[in-house]
Amino acid sequence: MNNANTRAELFNALQSLAGMVRRLRAGQLMAAIGELCFDLHGRRLWDAEDEEFLETIWRYRQGIQDAAVANEQSSGRA
Each of the 78 residues of the chain gets a pLDDT tens digit; together they read: 458 899 999 999 999 999 999 999 999 999 999 999 999 999 999 999 999 999 999 999 999 999 988 888 888 765
The number of folded domains in the chain is 1
Instruction: Specify the pLDDT at position 14.
Output: 96
Instruction: Specify the pLDDT at position 73.
Output: 86
Domain span holding position 35? 4-74
Half-sphere exposure of 74 (CA within 13 A, CB side): 6
Instruction: Specify the pLDDT at position 37.
Output: 97
Instruction: Specify the pLDDT at position 54.
Output: 96
Radius of gyration of the chain (CA): 14
User: Which positions ≥6 away from 34 have C-beta within 8 Å?
Assistant: 44, 45
Tell me the DSSP string of 57-75.
HHHHHHHHHHHHHHHHHHT
